[in-house]
Structure 1
Amino acid sequence: MRVVLDVGLISAKFFFCLLLALFCVGGVASRNLCAADEPSPTVTWREAYEHLQKGRYEEVEEAYEFLKKQSATKDDLPGEFANSPHPLTGPQYAEIALARIDLETGHRARAYERLEALKKLHSEQPRILGLLAWYAFLNGKLDVAETSAQEAIRIEADELWARRTLAEVYQATGRLKQADEGWRYFVRYYNRVQPEKAEELLLAAEGSLAYARWHTGKQIFDFVLNTLCIDALKADPLFWQAHELSGRLLLEKYNKPQAQQEFQAALAINPRAVTVLLGRAQAAAQDYDWDESNRLAKEVLKNAPGEPLAHTLLARSLLFSNQPEAALEQLQLAKAICPTDPTTTGLIVAAQIQRDGIRSLPRLQLLLESIDHIADLPAAADAPEAYETTLIAAAKINSACGEVLATTGEALEMHRKFELAEKFYRAALAVMPQLTAARNNLGMLTLQMARVDEARTMLDQAFKSDPYHMRVSNMRKVIRQLDGYATLSTDHFVIRYDNAQDELLARYMSKFLENEVYPQLVKQFGYEPSTRTTIEIYSKGNGQTAHEWFSARMVGLPWVQTIGASTGMMIALASPNGLNEPYNWSRVIRHEYVHVLTLQQTQFNIPHWYTEALAVRNEGYPRPAEWNDMLRKRVPRRDLRNLSNLNLGFISAKNGDDWNFAYCQSDLYANYLVERFGEPALEKLLLAYRAGKTTEVALKELFQTDIKDFEAGYLDYLDRIVAQLPGQAEASIEYSKSEVEAALEKEPRNAEWLGRAAMLKAKDRRRDEARKLAREALEIDPHCATAAIALAELDLRGEAPEKAIQKLASALDNTQPDHQLLQRLLPLLIQTKRWDEALKYASLAETTFPSDISSTVALAEILPHFMDLPRYKAVLEKLSMYENDESEYRLQRAEIAWKESDLPNVARYAAMVLEIDVTEPKAHWLLAEGLSGVKPEEALEEFSIACKLDDELAEAWAGWAVLLQTRGQVQEARQKAETALALDAKNARALEVLNKSQPAK
């Protein structure tokens, strides 16, 4: 399969570097075999190799123990290098295979010891020396690795394992020029030798990729994926390592879908391949799916206990959830396996900073500037901080330890310590300018911090070095898109927008921000940003939707869950004018500006859940009906997150409901805080985060409680919330087929279980069985909702809505109506235009279940058929709050107010329409009517906008004429009135304007 490194929009979130042995694969459950496992004496070298490649470690170990006593020619040994002037003997080949088994089952030290012993017997065999060097490197023994590699190369100049190891050692010890030459060797080697064996091809690929990462290596990336890896598999179809390398490279470039295909292909050959399982774990970590990442890492450690990358992946998850001590425990385990691994060291530095903070930023800056001449660093005035000690030790080994610094920067950025992350990225590039990953990350981070011009330069440089990096490529496209946008600057905001599509939106947003959002929220939170906040409104264009541009702006990829977001330094949103379904942009922009204030004032120390809680509370709308539905379903089953994992609900939700429920839970945590400790508790907790404290410490110091007690109280609070949603909690729980069958076995005469069984049968189209069960249930309980619904569903499939209505209505108990029955009955009554019954049952539903907005929505459709305007107005007013992304109800309410000459409500509801759709001409007209008597200048502007948006809106022209006439602008008034009459010859207001403006006879 040809793999395309496309620089289009490919979904993924974050990548953590993989630095492992080419042949580190699956694990072995036990090293001890019973006699029954002994291989046949006729086992061949090929059979043993197949066992090894397929991860059958139990069989292969015994096979090689047998084979190492046998002689063999080069042709007998699968995969043996074709052109080696020093071919391996059979016993040497078998012993190397046994060392590989040690390595792949997590016993690095034992693998090294086996090769060390083999060297004593064969000190002039270059392959043994080369592999000894590699295993020494994997164990952090850099001196041994370098010496052994040089010995191997002295004997055989093209010993590839030695060449790879020597380049790695040079890189790990700061000798970058020698490392660069070492990696360049592999490009030249391939061109000179044209190797054909799979292992040779993969070693050439690994070295060439390392060279390409330090240079502009577009052709090399292509060549590795589409030639070397494919040729390796042609040479050896069992060589899963080629799939693993392809997957790793694709994941590095954010092509997760194709990476997963390669990983799956590798696992189809060897389901226990450790590097592949870790690749999948890293893919999960890209999406912040820590549950899956941790599961895979633990699976690896179960079978390969000495695998350091598994520990570092677990540590990343712990760092994300703010558990630095636990992360350090994992990192120390990794460090014990390989003390010189830069990823481990970088994460240790990040964990120490997360745990201890930084006492002196000037000292940190001095340290970072001294990395490449660490001996000249003046001693600290006080005892050095833990992170400082770790960094100094790393710099003494490697004066160009850019990988350590970049890893620290990544971890700090993940924890939203953007300014610190930037310092570490810059320090990494200062000592190791070849480090493409750091340049990529710094460019993207700079854009997230709203420094667009600076980001442009950095991302252009990054793209030259790494043209296949999806996020870099997409963010460069975003900047080019921004170049074509207009700018509207106010005292506190800079708004970027598409002048052709969103000029009106930008104008109204700027007024809303300056007049309402900024003064209110700055006062509430007691914090004023030091610079103006940039707001970017993305519209459709250049082949991308508004949401795709917005997503690319935020994460460099084409899709994120929301339509508005803030980095804390800027706000971006997809234009409501560019989406299929408009949304309440005023609610979104207020929400996002809360993030700007809370993140900045706490220096990003505020947990994600709490900044979301404060943002939701400031939206100013009631809890959505969808949240109530989720509460009814999830709370009884305790399908909930807690404070230790709630943050994950915003970035690694399994579906839209999980994502929405994270907001719901956050809001309710804040509500519970207020209920238990009073309204001032919100500000107190915010100030605690501002002081750098954790939630656990803040709860103890401020409210004399601990996490366990707080969580228990929160669960009780949720139970009370759900109890206020009467009659709906139990019915909303969904049961599986097996659960229903088990319940029926215990209670065969339980009407509810019979009804649920009938619903399942109806769903499976087993109609006769469904009817039988439903009728049996209704004989036991004539009001069994599930049974009636099952029968109604069968009637509807037979296109008999009247019969369905009859069955649902018959089962309904008007004294204790069932929520599900009403939900099924009301749409059918509306569909069949049975308005009297519809009004009756909608009224019953609204009274019985006031938290369910669906009955109010039904009333909005029913009431126009009755002469009950006061009630209709009340319904529209309620829906204007609960259905806050729908402009229809607000517009209808404004029109009623205009007919009643209720000008304050005309202005109020018309303005509320514009909070959703600034392109609605009727809203501008009605707002103008409402403002005419109090703010005539604004009214004139609104009339003008309305008529530009819809030049056939006669009432807008007439109203404009009336206002102009009252201001003495007679000639203009006549012109507007004449336009109105051309559209509506009987328009009373236009006629009156003309009559009043007739010259006296």
Structure 2
Amino acid sequence: MSAPPFHLAMLLCFASLAVSAIANDLESAQDQFRIGKYTEAEAVASAAVESGIWNERWSRLLIQCQLEQGKYAEALQTYEDAIRRYPTSMTLRMLGLEAIRFNNLSERADEERKRFFQILQSSPLRFASRDNLIAAGRYFVEEGEDARQVLEMFYDRVRDSNPDFLEAYIATAELALEKGDYKVAAETLAEAERIDDTDPRISYLKARAFESSDTKVTIESLQRALELNPNHVPALLMQAELALDRELYDDAEAAITAVLKINPSEPDAWALRSVMAHLEGDTEREQEMRSKALRTWNKNPRVDYLIGSNLSQKYRFAEGAAYQRRALEFDPDYHAANFQLAQDLLRLGNDDKGWTLAKSVADDDPYNVVAHNLLTLYDRIKGFSVLESGDIHVRMDPKEADLYGDAVLELLTEARATLCEKYDVQPDAPIMVEIFPEQKDFAIRTFGLPGGDGYLGVCFGRVITANSPASQGERPYNWKSVLWHEFCHVVTLEKTKNRMPRWLSEGISVYEERMRNPAWGESMTPQYREMILGESLTPVSKLSSAFLSPPSALHLQFAYYESSLVIEFLIEKHGIESLITVLVSLADGLSIDDALTRSVGSLDRLDVEFATYAREKAEAFAPEADWSREDLPADATTDELAKWVEDHPTNYWGLRRLAEAWIAGKQDQKALPVLEKIVELGAVTQEREGPLELLADVYQRLGQEKRERETREQVLALSSDALPSYRRLIEIATQHDDWQHVLEYSEATLAIQPLQPFGYEHMAVAAAKLKKPEKEIRPLEALLQMDPIDPAALNFQLARAWLQSGETTSAKRHVLAALEAAPRYRDAHRLLLEIVADSQ
């Protein structure tokens, strides 16, 4: 073949350069869009489209720029011009569908959806471009098709053939997030980061993926997204929602304002303003903001879904459910609203409708991970026992119900009587308490997903979920303390119609724990003392944020304690009546700031006065101790540390480190005076394996029983879950035939661990020794439920206890059970004769 003529070669060269220049211009404009320079990107794209360049990507970019800025009419016009040139572009049609909807053209949007499907049917997808395959997948997701098939047929297909095509990873992550599959979303986004870690969408989606599991990653990812694109609307909206959660309403408003500067018609932004108005009790503004959210698409189901889900996040489940129903009036097939409504109903105690709706969502959407988890759990809890006492209904594992269900009802009945009277509340519907023997089941019922480590119980209003001692390992928390705390939430949420900030709700519950039993709830510790006198004390006006973004688990626990101190301060200074007035004002729709101002005065003064009160409390804790850390050597040997302590004989941190070092070195004699010094200084707390428990263990190992017993009694006075000390005191009391103390310690043990034989065995023995058959019956019946080695002996003991209590029918039943298990049991034969004689 001969070489092309010179002029033709030059023409081809210029054409190549022109294509290259156009490609560079397009890439540059796309980069501008990516970093949030929407106006600049729009100008370049508009010029390219008007010049007639034959490349649909320019039209797509222009529509994206116009949609991002709320220029919906212009976006629709651009789409109509472009689709005539590129009628088979599925990507363009998906953008056009959005433009049509936001021009309030619902009927046309329906027609466009049908047209989209017709084109898919007429165009073989096996020849489709990767862009069109992703667009087709998004279409089918929106239509409610099986998400797993969408992944396989569209997104995975593109990723297999184009492993570096970012849009396939973005689409996969979006779908996984929509279905609650956060693990797949996180894994997919990690792959996307390896392809291009400068796309703000990846960081934003990563923030969403970790929102329910890792606050630190969420915040860092959100910050990263906004560093890459300060005008990234989804990230700004998420920032607003997080601020709403923390009750940082000025921050939320700032983020919303930033969004509306970009897109004055952004529906999510107006919806969040509607949420804020609702929380402020401004009904008129709430509806005005909702109307603005619906102004460009008057049947947009997401608006009411978003308002409702944010209200539910604030425990306003009834109001949230009402908004989900409005969303479903616009679109009965809107899955997000259907499932949120199911969750709202379950949290309102409307189990029949809630579970039915959850099942419907799971059937329609098999890939919805949260719905699947809930339905799997429902199959398990259908076998739970239901115990009732008045309007209190308890759902428990049948075996656990047999062992301590009556004690649960007794405790909750006491809580109802005490707290409802104190706060003048009368619940007008049943209160459901669900206790789960497996932590993952508790988490799924409570949060929808496994996780939630650290939570012992959660109250939604009239529904309480709690972990049973079976889910907590060898040293569980005091279940009575947990249920008292959660029932207090029932009372205060009822009093305020669920309109209270988290700090106030938690503060009252922890305070009421201490009122019921001084060893329950949070109390002062060396760490808390340091935090109060340092920089960690949060002003009362900002306390809710301490719960939602704590730097560590310790800071979260401190938030509970500080909140309870606020309640203690308010009641001491202003009386319980002032606190109740605050709750009533919240129920009337006032904000917490206005409610506090009305009841106790200026918030600024409250912040100052409380800070003074808290510091006085902290300084009163072990005031003779030296609390400085400045000169404490970091890497000293034990001998060097001992020398340092000799020079600093009252330094708590040095004493503690030295005691722990001596104990680790099995030198109890040297550890003993160090621990005794800490106790002498008064620096002891309810802390597990703290100085007081360590001292008791040292006394035990050194054989100093009297001092050990005294020290363990101190532990019990401070701690609600000191199971090791209870067990040891039972052993000591048994050795000394001190049956009254054995009985008392055994009963207290069962408030911590009711699922193991130890407490029941010693309680039964002590009751028998004290000739208290009425106290002997319950532990013996519990032991019968625990697959005993010798059921005949237990039935015999029960028969004897029932007979001594005057219940011959029950006595006869158990002695016959003993004989059935051991026909030659002579003592049982004699007891049967005695029972028959007494019956005649």
Distance 1:962 1:216 in 2: 62
Distance 1:305 1:968 in 2: 78
Q: Is the 8 A contact 1:285 1:293 kept in 2?
A: yes
- What secondary structure sits across from 1:722 in the alignment? helix
1:164 aligns with 2:108: no
Distance 2:643 2:31 in 1: 72
Spell out the pairing of 1:395-474 with structure 2 (5 A cutoff): 395=294, 397-474=296-373
1:500 aligns with 2:399: yes
Q: Is the 8 A contact 1:624 1:882 kept in 2?
A: no
Distance 1:217 1:723 in 2: 59
Q: Is the 8 A contact 2:189 2:202 kept in 1?
A: yes
CA drift at 1:815:
9.8
Within the candidate set 540, 545, 549, 2:441 is matched to: 549
Distance 1:968 1:400, change over 3 A: closer
Q: Is the 8 A contact 1:863 1:872 kept in 2?
A: yes
Spell out the pairing of 1:524-923 with structure 2 (5 A cutoff): 524-539=422-437, 546-560=438-452, 561-581=454-474, 582-619=476-513, 620-622=517-519, 628-643=525-540, 645-678=542-575, 680-706=577-603, 708-726=604-622, 733=629, 752=631, 755-756=633-634, 759=635, 790-792=636-638, 812-813=645-646, 816-820=649-653, 822-824=655-657, 826=659, 840-852=673-685, 854-863=690-699, 872-893=708-729, 905-923=741-759
1:291-318: CA deviation from partner (whole Å, max 9, x where unpaired): 7656655655565444332332232123
**Map of 1:11 onto structure 2:** none
Could you tell me which amino acid in structure 2 is paired with residue 437 of structure 1?
A
Distance 1:204 1:592 in 2: 48
**Map of 2:241 onto structure 1:** 316
**Map of 1:245 onto structure 2:** 171
**Map of 1:945 onto structure 2:** 782
CA drift at 1:337:
2.5
CA drift at 1:133:
3.8
1:834-877: CA deviation from partner (whole Å, max 9, x where unpaired): 77666555443322234246343244335557897765544333
What RMSD, in angstroms, separates the aligned Cα atoms of the two structures? 4.3
Q: Is the 8 A contact 2:345 2:354 kept in 1?
A: yes
Spell out the pairing of 1:235-274 with structure 2 (5 A cutoff): 237=164, 239-274=165-200
- What secondary structure sits across from 2:465 in the alignment? strand
Distance 1:817 1:961, change over 3 A: farther
1:101 aligns with 2:26: no
CA drift at 1:495:
1.3
Within the candidate set 509, 512, 526, 2:411 is matched to: 512
User: Bigger shift: 404-413 or 299-308?
Assistant: 299-308
Q: Is the 8 A contact 1:895 1:926 kept in 2?
A: no
Could you tell me which amino acid in structure 1 is paired with residue 488 of structure 2?
V
Q: Is the 8 A contact 2:275 2:310 kept in 1?
A: yes
Distance 2:489 2:415 in 1: 13
Distance 2:497 2:402 in 1: 33
Could you tell me which amino acid in structure 2 is paired with residue 940 of structure 1?
I
1:922-969: CA deviation from partner (whole Å, max 9, x where unpaired): 533554577678975454344443466556698997797477458597
Distance 1:184 1:352, change over 3 A: farther
1:229 aligns with 2:127: no
Distance 1:839 1:118, change over 3 A: closer
Spell out the pairing of 1:359-378 with structure 2 (5 A cutoff): none
Distance 1:678 1:966, change over 3 A: closer
- What secondary structure sits across from 2:280 in the alignment? helix
- What secondary structure sits across from 2:434 in the alignment? strand
CA drift at 1:169:
2.8
CA drift at 1:568:
1.7
Distance 1:972 1:480 in 2: 38
CA drift at 1:407:
1.4
Could you tell me which amino acid in structure 1 is paired with residue 656 of structure 2?
Q
CA drift at 1:690:
3.1
**Map of 2:7 onto structure 1:** none
Distance 2:473 2:151 in 1: 39
CA drift at 1:705:
2.5
Q: Is the 8 A contact 1:547 1:563 kept in 2?
A: no
CA drift at 1:726:
3.9
1:924 aligns with 2:821: no
Distance 1:702 1:968 in 2: 57
**Map of 1:782 onto structure 2:** none
CA drift at 1:970:
13
**Map of 1:487 onto structure 2:** 386
The alignment's TM-score, normalised by the length of structure 2, stands at 0.84
User: Bigger shift: 263-272 or 911-920?
Assistant: 263-272
Q: Is the 8 A contact 2:493 2:499 kept in 1?
A: yes
CA drift at 1:330:
3.2
1:865-918: CA deviation from partner (whole Å, max 9, x where unpaired): 789776554433322233322334335545666777777655433321111122
Could you tell me which amino acid in structure 2 is paired with residue 568 of structure 1?
G
**Map of 1:178 onto structure 2:** 111
Distance 2:392 2:398 in 1: 17
CA drift at 1:425:
0.9
CA drift at 1:552:
0.8
Distance 1:826 1:101 in 2: 61
Could you tell me which amino acid in structure 1 is paired with residue 777 of structure 2?
L
**Map of 2:260 onto structure 1:** 335
Q: Is the 8 A contact 1:496 1:536 kept in 2?
A: yes
Q: Is the 8 A contact 1:537 1:574 kept in 2?
A: yes
**Map of 1:210 onto structure 2:** 142
Distance 1:342 1:286, change over 3 A: farther
Q: Is the 8 A contact 1:321 1:644 kept in 2?
A: no
Distance 1:177 1:967 in 2: 78
| Count of residues in Structure 1 that have an aligned counterpart in Structure 2 | 807
Spell out the pairing of 1:79-94 with structure 2 (5 A cutoff): 93-94=23-24
Within the candidate set 286, 289, 300, 1:387 is matched to: 286
Q: Is the 8 A contact 1:812 1:818 kept in 2?
A: yes
Q: Is the 8 A contact 2:726 2:749 kept in 1?
A: yes
Q: Percent identity?
A: 19
**Map of 1:118 onto structure 2:** 48
CA drift at 1:814:
10
The alignment's TM-score, normalised by the length of structure 1, stands at 0.71
Distance 1:845 1:155 in 2: 83
Q: Is the 8 A contact 1:201 1:229 kept in 2?
A: no
Could you tell me which amino acid in structure 2 is paired with residue 450 of structure 1?
G
Distance 1:318 1:978 in 2: 64
Distance 1:151 1:847, change over 3 A: same
**Map of 1:194 onto structure 2:** 127
CA drift at 1:164:
1.7
Distance 1:223 1:390, change over 3 A: same
**Map of 1:15 onto structure 2:** none
